[in-house]
Amino acid sequence: MAKDSPIAEVVMHPARLRIIQQLSGRELTTAQLRDALPEITQATLYRHVAALLEAGILAVVDERKVRGTTERTLALGARLAVADLDEVRAMDTAQLRTTFLTFLGLLGETFDDFLAAEDQQLRDYLGFGMSQLYVADDDLPALQSTLNDVLAPYRKERPGTRRVALASVLIPEAE
């Protein structure tokens, strides 16, 4: 049996994925995070935030006193919420399936939120498709690096921009 993958254990929980999604490319106070995720109870939210902070997935970027308590501003930390190659290899089949299905569930929830908004103008930002690529083992790091370089300017909120979710999945075809 494969050893456990720490990143999968920390990140692959629907509530934690939603927290990470909310903080992607921006900083939010804990109050703003609570407002953005009303379906998660406050105690549960704080418990998951604590786990993500401990793992380095989230970081506290500011603290200030507000009415006798300390309000923290959170952002994604130095440890990205992505399983690296060794962690993917370490997952057994059941862990890998659960991780992927959790990811798909979050993607489905994001799409449902889009549909629930019933805003026809948002459809101008919608797109999905699937492409086949032909890559060798040593192509993948270059491909990932190039994609990161292309996407980097769009990861931070700027005036006049709209937040969109971009999901990517590489699934090798079995020969």
In a domain, 168, yes or no: no
* Boundaries of domain holding 111: 6-121
Q: What is the CATH number of the domain that holds 58?
A: 1.10.10.10
In a domain, 89, yes or no: yes
Query: Is residue 80 very low, low, confident or very high in pLDDT (cuts 50, 70, 90)?
Result: low
**Residue 4: is its pLDDT beyond 50?**
no
Q: Which residues 6+ apart lie within 8 Å of 151 measured at CB?
A: 166
In a domain, 50, yes or no: yes
Q: pLDDT, tens digit, for every residue of 139-158?
A: 988 998 899 899 989 988 88
In a domain, 32, yes or no: yes
**Residue 5: is its pLDDT beyond 60?**
no
In a domain, 148, yes or no: no
In a domain, 117, yes or no: yes
> Rounded to whole angstroms, how far apart are CA atoms 106 and 98?
12
In a domain, 167, yes or no: no
Q: pLDDT, tens digit, for every residue of 30-59?
A: 999 999 999 999 999 999 999 999 888 899
pLDDT for residue 2: 35
Q: Residue 69 has which token pair? A: 């308590």
Number of domains present in the structure of the chain: 1
Average pLDDT of the residues of the chain: 85
**Residue 116: is its pLDDT beyond 80?**
yes
HSE of 4 in the Cβ direction (CA atoms, 13 Å)?
7
In a domain, 138, yes or no: no
**Residue 7: is its pLDDT beyond 80?**
no
